[in-house]
Amino acid sequence: MKNLYHLNTKLTGLIGHPIKHTFSPFIHNISFELNGLDYIYLPFDVPSSNLKTALKGIVSLGIKGLNVTIPHKENIMLIMNDVSEEASIIGSINTIVNDMGKLTGYNTDVNGIYETLVDYKEEINGSEVSVVGAGGAARAVIYSLIRYFKPSRIYLINRTEQRAESLKNYFIDKMKFDSFKTLELFPPDLVEVFGNSKLIVNATSVGMFPESDDIITTLGSSFTKEQIVFDLVYNPPQTALLKLAASRGAITLDGLKMLVFQAAKSFELWTGEQMPVEKVYKSLQLFIKT
């Protein structure tokens, strides 16, 4: 990877706190190199107390754009000059574009979710689906499903059921989609719900979802080869959930593809160019293995 920076090198990066494990610098820097672009991507650990001054710095230093991660994805919206329609409905941004001092916020997770699921559009259309989780990622999943995939019903399942209920009411209000049923993350009830679902999405942060062996065994009985199981967790790419689903013959989709495609949209917004996603995806798989 290149290590020489020039007078005109354009700066991009990631702000969040804490910034621990991130593949974004790898994805973007290798993409800049593959496309022969004089850009660089760096991680910036910015606590909430410094967020406003950091954004002033983006403008004064001429930083081309940034990705945004926890805990700034929601709060930062208030400091943008403009916010895309998608990001505004979802209620969080993960990408900022600095256009001559005007900061616009976008949510490119939608692109990652769309590209991961697009091959199964017909199957999802008119079917019941389950989404586990009620955080920021679940919001992007629900938005994408309603907007592009038109399921007949969304089962919204979360450890804290009240949060799922709030999310349901939020989307009824924002997108006029009211075919929701909320449930607590409680296995006995989920067997039937998962059994009815064409698509099951894990949008929780539980890497080894579900955590206990008991739950794995119970859920395993409900997966079939007619189902699609999508786990947003990307490290490890093959989670316990996906391994279980694959063992039952279900179609499995990992979070790594979504990660690359959401990055590809940020890349396009900053550079105007297409990311070479296949090459980047393969390089990332190798990078993770080493």
Ligand X SMILES: NC(=O)c1ccc[n+]([C@@H]2O[C@H](COP(=O)([O-])OP(=O)(O)OC[C@H]3O[C@@H](n4cnc5c(N)ncnc54)[C@H](OP(=O)(O)O)[C@@H]3O)[C@@H](O)[C@H]2O)c1
Binding residues for ligand X, per CB under 6 A?
A: 109, 112, 133-138, 158-160, 163, 185, 203-206, 211, 232-234, 255, 258-259, 262
Nearer to ligand X, 46 or 90 (CB): 90
Q: Retrieve residue 57's tokens.
A: 């710095």
Nearer to ligand X, 197 or 262 (CB): 262
- What is the set of active-site residues? 73
Contacts of 24 (CB under 8 A, 6+ apart): 14, 41, 43, 67, 263
Which of helix, strand or coil describes residue 42? strand
Q: How far is the CB of 256 from ligand X (least distance, A)?
A: 7
Nearer to ligand X, 99 or 211 (CB): 211
Phi then psi for 67, rounded to 5 degrees? -90, 155
Q: How far is the CB of 60 from ligand X (least distance, A)?
A: 29
The Cα–Cα gap between 151 and 250 comes to 19
User: Could you tell me where the DSSP H helices lie in 35-120?
Assistant: 51-61, 85-90, 109-117
Nearer to ligand X, 86 or 109 (CB): 109
Q: How far is the CB of 59 from ligand X (least distance, A)?
A: 26
Which of helix, strand or coil describes residue 83? strand
The Cα–Cα gap between 231 and 243 comes to 11
| Residue 127 CA: distances (Å) to CA of 52, 121, 197, 244, 245 | 44, 10, 7, 22, 19
Q: How far is the CB of 92 from ligand X (least distance, A)?
A: 8
Please name the amino acid found at residue 210.
P
